[in-house]
Structure 1
């Protein structure tokens, strides 16, 4: 009887990495390059000399690549999303009335009203 040889996939659930860029930063760099391509086409169609177009796109492209790699290195896979989500969490929740925490027994309360309609009173 022959023994079976199974290949173990060790990279399961690991984030995608391409030349040091992790996860969503690959998409950010790709969209930045596409935006630069569109910008070059618009500048060329307007009539700006091609050498100036290439120079502007080269400078802007260098900035896009450096910023994208910087964000990837600084925040990592999920760090930027966590940072942006953390900014939306309020520092303090102020409530001047405790009525929101009290159980109401009137008809507007869904669970109590349904229990009374069904005859389940406690």
Structure 2
């Protein structure tokens, strides 16, 4: 009897779910979980249930929209690109006086 095994073609590839790749899945899940907890806290605090529903639905739709927008704009390694861009200086400051750059020294020649 000959057995065949399927080869896993997904080794080394990033995780993807409904178009969301890699780190955006964590943002998506964490955002929705935080909106759910916020809505439950507001409801237990005695806020009107319609206001809780509006805040929950609005916050969830905002998180979904922003997550898919970031995924589409920056791609798989988007958060690393944003982080790297914020660490680059916008301009280089040189605090030395100008005459220090224009200073010439004359070397003495030994005879």
Bin of the TM-score, shorter chain as denominator length:
0.7 to 0.9
Structure 2 match to 1:12? 11
Q: How much is the aligned-residue C-alpha RMSD, in angstroms?
A: 2.3
The answer for unaligned runs of 5 or more in structure 1 is: 98-122
Q: Distance in 2 between matches of 1:13 and 1:94?
A: 45
The 8 Å contact of residues 24 and 71 in structure 2, kept in 1 or not, is answered as yes
Q: Is residue 45 of structure 1 aligned with residue 44 of structure 2?
A: yes
Could you tell me whether the CA contact under 8 Å between 2:22 and 2:76 is conserved in 1?
yes
Task: State yes or no: 1:67 paired with 2:49.
Answer: no
2:109 aligned residue: none
Normalising by the residue count of structure 1, what TM-score does the alignment of the two structures yield?
A: 0.67
Residue ranges of structure 2 left out of the alignment (5+ in a row): 101-111
| Residues in 1 aligned to 2:72 and 2:55: alpha-carbon distance in whole angstroms | 26
TM-score, normalisation: structure 2: 0.73
Task: Map Cα deviations across residues 25-59 of structure 1 (whole Å, 9 max, x no partner).
Answer: 00001110111111111111221111221111101
Tell me the residue number matched to 2:92: 92
Deviation at 1:84, TM superposition (A): 1.6
1:79, 1:55 → 2: CA distance? 30
Between the aligned partners of 1:18 and 1:64, the Cα distance in structure 2 is 16
Aligned residue pairs, count: 96
